[in-house]
Amino acid sequence: MTAKVGVVLFPGSNCEQDVVEAIRSLGGEAEVLWHGDAHLQAVDAVVLPGGFAHGDYLRPGAIARFSPIMGAVAEFAREGGPVVGICNGFQVLTEAGLVPGALQKNRGLKFLCRMAEVRVETTNSVLTRGADAGAVLRIPINHFEGNYTCDERTLARLRDEDRIVFTYVDNPNGSMADIAGVCNEGRNVVGLMPHPERACNELLGSADGAVLLRSLVDATIAVTR
Amino acid sequence: MTAVATRFAVLVEVQLRPGIADPQGATIERALPALGFVGVHDVRVGKAMRFEVEAADEASARRLVEDMCERFLTNPVIEEASVSVTQVAGVAS
């Protein structure tokens, strides 16, 4: 059975087709879901893609969190369904409270658009199951608000529970503890700033992101069975 | 029967919580001396939102706005808000 990944299109999203293309190139099925629908169309996993949902007005993710589809996404996540938020999608997940913390402006006040080296800190998540622990992946970043912040207690908890999924080798944005991605308690919801969908083909300069999205497709198949 | 509501002018000032790095404030602070403004410290950049609300009295207007701040206007992980509420003179709705 082929896993079907739903990629949510908010007004202002701009990476949804890249995710669809990457998932298909890895043998999964993918379709775009409209943020205004209150139901997920029988998908087996959900990706919140990058971009500027609702113009990033107020704060990135602050309005997207109230899009009709987010109720269904939260319910799907509660039931253990795989949900991945990439870049702006990570910001939406934090605003929705599906992963802890917040993403504030980069320390250097620059919009960062470049390749980053990202270390896999745990293989215990829907996005990293097929990766090697400690592996360093070359995956592009493309954000202004990627500076991960949380309180000390949350950080201690993330560490104790092995929920820091990715760190930067060379911290580009001031993120606390070099964090590039985290997961929820159930490990089925992962948010990350780097864009694995832009690193799924050598023609794009790196194919290191493929192992992550393949993990998602495989996790999805496992859930479907 | 309709409850009598009064209109209140609201000012919400959103700031980063103390201890949260404010790169915009730091950049402004570093730039000011170039224009000859010396002795400026602790620059913090936030945002201000002004609007009017209808409520029975000032206390309930304030409660309403604080609830908005908690659930929407601020991200409590990194931001906090100060709220001021003043009755709009001569307007009853």
What's the gap in Å between the CA of B5 and the closest CA on chain A? 28
Tokens of A168: 């930067």
Residues A95, A121, A145, A197: which is the catalytic one? A197
- pLDDT score at A109: 85
| A9 to A29, A34, A193, A201, B9: CA distances (angstroms) | 16, 5, 18, 23, 37
Mean pLDDT to the nearest integer, A132-159: 97
Question: Could you give the 3-state DSSP secondary structure of residue A191?
Answer: strand
**A61 Cβ neighbours under 8 A, 6+ residues apart:** A53, A88, A91, A92, A93, A94, A95, A96
**A134 Cβ neighbours under 8 A, 6+ residues apart:** A119, A120, A121
pLDDT tens sequence across A99-135: 999 999 999 889 999 999 999 999 999 999 999 999 9
Which residues are registered as beta bridge partners of B6? B55, B92
Q: Where are the beta strands (DSSP E) in chain B?
A: 6-16, 47-55, 79-92
Predicted confidence band at A221 (pLDDT cuts at 50, 70, 90)?
confident
**B4 Cβ neighbours under 8 A, 6+ residues apart:** B56, B92
> What is chain A's mean pLDDT, rounded?
95
pTM listed for this prediction = 0.92
For A105, the closest of B23, B72, B75 (CB atoms) is B23
For B77, the closest of A102, A109, A174 (CB atoms) is A102
ipTM: 0.81
Angle at A209 between CA A79 and CA A47, to 5 degrees: 30
Please give the Cα distance from A21 to A178 (Å, whole number).
29
Q: How many CB atoms lie within 10 A of CB B28?
A: 14
Please give the Cα distance from B32 to B61 (Å, whole number).
39
Question: Could you give the 3-state DSSP secondary structure of residue B84?
Answer: strand
Residues in chain B, pLDDT under 70: 1-3, 90-93
pLDDT tens sequence across B1-23: 556 789 999 999 999 999 888 98
The reply to whether residue A94 touches residue B24, judged by beta carbons under 8 angstroms, is: no
What's the gap in Å between the CA of A83 and the closest CA on chain B? 22
Residue A157 contacts B where some CB pair is shorter than 8 Å: no
- pLDDT score at B87: 94
The reply to whether residue B77 touches residue A101, judged by beta carbons under 8 angstroms, is: yes
Predicted confidence band at A41 (pLDDT cuts at 50, 70, 90)?
confident
Interface of A with B in 44-103 (CB under 8 A): 58-59, 62, 94-95, 100-102
Q: Is A54 a known active-site residue? A: no
